[in-house]
Structure 1
Amino acid sequence: MKIEQGISNYEKMKNNMADVFLQYDQEEMIRKFGLTQDKNYLYICCLNRQYRISRLNGQVSWSEDAFQTEGEADYNEAMTLYDVLCCSKENCHLACEWVNVGSLSAVQGGTLAKGSDFFQDAGKYFDGKKDALALACERLKGRKVEKGDVAYELDLFPFLPVVLRFWESDEEFPASLQILVDRNILDYMHYETLMFAISHMLNRLRDEINKVLP
């Protein structure tokens, strides 16, 4: 990553997107997604965490105590929010049909394809931690579903759920992680953004696991 004057390229891109955000119709975002808002911010929940986007400068922050304290959104968080709010299709809606994220026709061979290092590395991290992973999913207000040693439906956004399924390794097979998404998910975000969103979800789960493991 190149550093110029102490600012990474990721930070530059995030700041550029904050400026782009201000060019879009905020009232349309509020209408489309039923956002809470006031004169200074738009509010949105992502993975059981509250975010707000400044209506004045486009910056994204998050809080877990009603914004008595707050943190700056990282690249994956901010870019996901910007893309969904600014670039989702006008009539985006759920198909209510789950598909494996790697099977989406538009992403064949991409980073999120089946068997990619991305999922193998995540599977290795969660291996041997199934109880902690289940607790982490519960802390993100996940809803238990069938199949897998750990399987939960999580609200990426209140209007956009995803499913995580995990199987621990055994004598024959390595640990396996599967992400299911709604068939229409690319109506809500670009494929590149889907990578950011899933990376953010896995990072949130790792953070929750680290809170309970020694």
Structure 2
Amino acid sequence: MKKKITSNYESACLKWQEVFVKMDKQKLMEILPEIKIEGDYLTIYHFGRKFGVHKQTGEIIAMEDDLPISVSEKFNIYLLFYYVKPYAKIRGEWVTFEKLKNTSQFKPAFIKSVLEPFANTFAGHMDKLKDACEKIGGKRIKASDMGYEIKAFECIPIQFLFWDEDDEFEARASMLFDLGSTDFIHEESIVTIASVGVERLAQIAGLDKGSNTFDMK
């Protein structure tokens, strides 16, 4: 029996699944060497979570856990596969979100649906943020009160920067991205990727994410 479609996001996701089925898998793996083959699946890690994409059907499954897979996670994987450019590479130059190519128009959404929930979720919980970052392979960096470099995908690293609340200031957060990130995926997807990162950290930390976090479910 076919799964009942409950949202426009799910319907769009199914269309991207069909797009993936028709893609040249060998060429894709040459452009994105982080993709591996395991039986009938192409596997890839997204924020430390291993996913498998069935080569014939395009269905995405979790390879190492029984947690639900959000539509946002599926979108991120399909759109990475579709939009990655043959010349894409990590450049080693860190910039704020609005300095990525063609992203300035999405800055308000990024602040509201990513940075504010990130700050609100972990206010007063730096210890839990530290543990969550390390559990998904984050590397501590000397920036902010609690800074970690985390790989959304192997090709899209993100620096998560957090300053905790005190008697004078509320908690605040920022993120830095490699300048080449938008050569791997559509610029609008950077918002979705960052939001999934916040949600993943909150989930591991056992905290309720900020209510404004972008979520396709």
Asked if 1 retains the 8 angstrom alpha-carbon contact of 2:106 and 2:188, the reply is no
Deviation track 1:190-210 (CA, whole Å, cap 9, x = no partner) reads 122111111111110000110
Displacement, 1:111? 4.1
Asked if 1 retains the 8 angstrom alpha-carbon contact of 2:155 and 2:184, the reply is no
Distance 1:169 1:102, change over 3 A: farther
Q: Does 1:51 align with 2:66?
A: no
Asked if 2 retains the 8 angstrom alpha-carbon contact of 1:143 and 1:154, the reply is yes
Matched residue of 1:106: which SS? coil
Displacement, 1:64? 2.2
Displacement, 1:158? 2.0
Ranked by relative contact order (alpha carbons within 8 Å, sequence separation 6 or more), the top structure is: 2
Q: Does 1:117 align with 2:116?
A: no
Asked if 1 retains the 8 angstrom alpha-carbon contact of 2:47 and 2:136, the reply is yes
Deviation track 1:10-31 (CA, whole Å, cap 9, x = no partner) reads 2111111100111211111111
Task: Read off the aligned partner of 1:96 and give its amino acid letter.
Answer: G
Q: Does 1:10 align with 2:6?
A: no
2:193 maps to which of 187, 191, 197:
197
Name which of structure 1's ranges 201-210 and 56-65 shifts more when overlaid on structure 2.
56-65
Distance 1:85 1:112, change over 3 A: farther
Displacement, 1:112? 5.6
TM normalised by structure 1 equals: 0.87
Distance 1:6 1:28 in 2: 31
Aligned match of 1:36? 36
Matched residue of 1:7: which SS? coil
Aligned match of 1:184? 180
Matched residue of 1:136: which SS? helix
Displacement, 1:173? 2.5
Displacement, 1:57? 1.1
Task: Read off the aligned partner of 2:112 and give its amino acid letter.
Answer: D
Unaligned runs of 5+ in 1: none
Distance 2:142 2:109 in 1: 23
Matched residue of 1:156: which SS? strand
Displacement, 1:121? 2.8
Aligned match of 1:85? 81
Distance 2:142 2:8 in 1: 41
Aligned match of 1:64? 64
Aligned match of 2:154? 158
Matched residue of 2:23: which SS? coil
User: Percent of counterpart pairs with the same letter?
Assistant: 24
1:171 maps to which of 167, 172, 188:
167
Displacement, 1:117? 2.1
Distance 1:112 1:54, change over 3 A: farther
Distance 1:120 1:72 in 2: 24
Count of aligned pairs between the two proteins: 202
Displacement, 1:183? 0.6
Distance 1:72 1:42 in 2: 19
Q: Does 1:22 align with 2:21?
A: yes
Q: Does 1:141 align with 2:140?
A: no
Asked if 2 retains the 8 angstrom alpha-carbon contact of 1:137 and 1:152, the reply is yes
